[in-house]
């Protein structure tokens, strides 16, 4: 059983990303959408929270915020909305950290 964790708020705004990454189990996936995509910028302090997690990030939300893929942490998977749907399907349930 694995869970898809959705985080949509910037880690510089609130602690949802901290909560999600600290409670995630092995085998779970974290998907960053909306303002949370800023977490994935390698040069940002918050990207350290992503260490050790399986992370995907929504491409359209990166592009909207002017974040190019070369700025991202290594090993992160950029997906589109179809990829988002696939992640929901391939995990047993979805936890939205609102």
Partner 1 sequence: MSQTKKFMYINRKAPYGTIYAWEALEVVLIGAAFEQDVSVTFMDDGVYQLVKGQDTSGIGMKNFSPTYAALGDFEITKIYVEQESLEERGLTLDDLQHLVWEDEDEDYAEKDSIRLVSRAELGSVLAEQDVLFNF
Partner 2 sequence: MKLTIQVNEGPYQHQSADSAYYFAKAALEKGHEIYRIFFYHDGVNNGTRLTTPPQDDRNIVARWSELAKEHDIDMVLCVAAAQRRGIVDDGEAERNGKDATNIAPGFRISGLGQLVEGGIQSDRLVVFGD
1 part of the interface to partner 1, by CB under 8 A? yes
d(CA 30, CA 33): 10
Print the binding letters for residues 2-21 with partner 1: x by CB under 8 A, - otherwise: -x-----------x---x--
Give the whole-angstrom CA distance, residue 70 versus residue 31: 18
* Region binding partner 2 by CB under 8 A among candidate stretches 1-9, 17-25, 41-49, 65-73: 1-9
Can residue 94 be called a binding residue for partner 1 (CB under 8 A)?
A: yes
Contacts of 31 (CB under 8 A, 6+ apart): 4, 5, 6, 7, 55, 56, 57, 58, 79, 84, 87
List contacts with partner 2 (CB under 8 A): 6, 8-9, 33-35, 60, 80-82, 84-86, 88-89, 93-94, 96, 98
């Amino acid at each position: 059983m694995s869970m898809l964790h959705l985080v949509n708020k910037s880690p510089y705004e609130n602690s949802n990303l901290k909560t999600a990454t600290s409670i995630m189990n092995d085998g779970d996936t974290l998907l960053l959408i909306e303002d949370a995509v800023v977490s994935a910028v390698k040069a940002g302090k918050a990207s350290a929270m992503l260490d050790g997690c399986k992370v995907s990030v929504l491409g359209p939300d990166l592009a909207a915020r002017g974040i190019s893929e070369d700025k991202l942490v290594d090993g992160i998977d950029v997906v589109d909305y179809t990829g988002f749907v696939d992640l929901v399907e391939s995990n047993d349930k979805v936890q939205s950290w609102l």
